[in-house]
């Protein structure tokens, strides 16, 4: 069985400051890793994903995440946040065979302050 832990339920940060949202997972098999974002009153959107290859993956809006196999982590970072990044962020894993269903973390609410 797989599980995902997002230890920070809420993260307040000032605009233009850096931010890191933590994600740790547990799995007995190899997994794919995802970050989804949910803006207020909107649906879930893929931010970035790790399938294989380079352990550092980037999104088009400046976020990046690094897969660390030894620490079973997939933390999300951004060097300088904007007000518009205020949203809830979900980390998810899926197995590499079978159903590919997602197991989600409980989410981290990022609030960017002016």
Partner 1 sequence: GAGVSQSPSNKVTEKGKDVELRCDPISGHTALYWYRQSLGQGLEFLIYFQGNSAPDKSGLPSDRFSAERTGGSVSTLTIQRTQQEDSAVYLCASSLAGSGDTQYFGPGTRLTVL
Comparing CB distances to partner 1, the nearer of 97 and 114 is: 97
Of 81 and 94, CB closest to partner 1: 94
CA distance linking residue 83 with residue 70, whole number of Å: 34
Q: Which stretch binds partner 1 (CB under 8 A): 20-28, 31-39, 53-61, 64-72?
A: 31-39
Residue count at the site for partner 1 (CB under 8 A)? 25
Decide: is 96 part of the binding site for partner 1 (CB under 8 A): yes
Buried b or exposed e, range 70-96, using 16+ CB within 10 angstroms: eebbbbbebeebeeebbbbbbbbbbbe
Choice between 25 and 90, CB closer to partner 1: 90
Q: Is the four-CA dihedral 88, 20, 16, 56 of positive or negative sign?
A: negative
SS3 call for 68:
strand
Nearest distance from C-beta of residue 35 to partner 1, angstroms: 12
Does residue 82 touch partner 1 according to CB under 8 A?
A: no
**Site residues for partner 1 per CB under 8 A:** 32, 34, 36, 42-46, 49, 51, 90, 92, 94, 96-107
């Amino acid at each position: 069985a797989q599980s995902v832990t997002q230890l920070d339920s809420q993260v307040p940060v000032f605009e233009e400051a850096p931010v890191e949202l933590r994600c740790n997972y547990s799995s007995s098999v190899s997994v794919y890793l995802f970050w989804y974002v949910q803006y207020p009153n909107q649906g879930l959107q893929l931010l970035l994903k790790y399938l294989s290859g380079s352990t550092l993956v980037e999104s088009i809006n400046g976020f990046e995440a690094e897969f660390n196999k030894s620490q079973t982590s997939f933390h999300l970072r951004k060097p300088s946040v904007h007000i518009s990044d205020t949203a809830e962020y979900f980390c998810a894993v899926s197995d590499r065979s079978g159903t590919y269903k997602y197991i989600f973390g409980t989410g981290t609410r990022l609030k960017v302050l002016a």
